[in-house]
Amino acid sequence: MDVVDEAAVLIEAERAEGVARAQRALAGAGGAHCATCGDEIAARRRAALPSAVRCARCQAEVEKEATPRPRASGRFEVEW
């Protein structure tokens, strides 16, 4: 499998996860356990964000990884 094929697989997995997340959000309920680590999602987080699918720690990591980072050239890139 070459790099393009690997990228296509990752894109499709992210798309499928996004669709599933949107469906859960539309249903109004996330879950009691984090989709990433399996730990229980705190009751306060579930009350504040019923569609939450990750605990606060895992969600922070996901958001940190998706934050654009400046390159040496001054351009930004997103590392997935």
> For the chain, which residues make up each domain, given as ranges?
3-77
Q: Report the number of secondary-structure helices (H) and strands (E) in the chain.
A: 3, 2
Give residue 54's pLDDT band: very low, low, confident or very high (50, 70, 90): very high
pLDDT at residue 3, as a whole number: 87
CA distance 48 to 9: 33
Angle at 37 between CA 18 and CA 70, to 5 degrees: 60
Task: Classify each residue of 26-58 as buried b or exposed e, where b means 16 or more C-beta atoms within 10 Å of its C-beta.
Answer: eeeebeeebbeeeeebeeebbeeeeebbbbeeb
pLDDT band at residue 24 using 50, 70 and 90 as cut-offs: confident
